[in-house]
Amino acid sequence: MTDDFKIPLFLQTNPVKINSRRAELYSSPRHCESHSTEVLEKGTGTVKWFSEHKGFGFFTRDSGCHKGQDLFVHIQEVSRLGQDFLTKGRRYGFDINKRRLDGKEFAINLRTI
């Protein structure tokens, strides 16, 4: 008696490589759907710290009603700027977006100032 092996539905719709967990997380539809597509506001900020090993960092906002607060930035946005890392203390311009899941804000569309 042989049982037919059935591929789970989530693997049929979103095939991933077993050894690329980070790529799986950021290429999955869940990641894309968790962010809104609208830009909430434009702002400027100074790099508080950035870890290319961890893949993220934070800006300290220089403008807007949230002046002085931290703002998350992902390495994917840094790569779109054509850089591999952000230097502590350097100023950048950015657009601010909000996650639908928990309402936390993050920087997109980085610009050098």
Question: Each residue of 12-55: pLDDT tens digit?
Answer: 554 444 444 444 444 433 344 455 557 788 999 999 999 989 99
Residue 46 lies in a domain: yes
Residue 24 lies in a domain: no
* Number of structural domains the chain divides into: 1
- Domain with 74 in it: 38-112
d(CA 69, CA 45) in angstroms, rounded, equals 10
State pTM to two decimals.
Answer: 0.65
Q: What angle do CA 46, 84, 61 make, to 5 degrees?
A: 15
d(CA 53, CA 80) in angstroms, rounded, equals 17
Give residue-wise pLDDT tens across range 78-89. 999 899 899 999
Give residue-wise pLDDT tens across range 58-113. 999 997 778 889 999 999 999 998 998 999 999 999 999 998 888 899 999 999 98
Residue 33 lies in a domain: no
Yes or no: say if 14 and 28 are a contact pair by the CB < 8 Å rule: yes
Closest CA to 52 of 79, 19, 17: 79
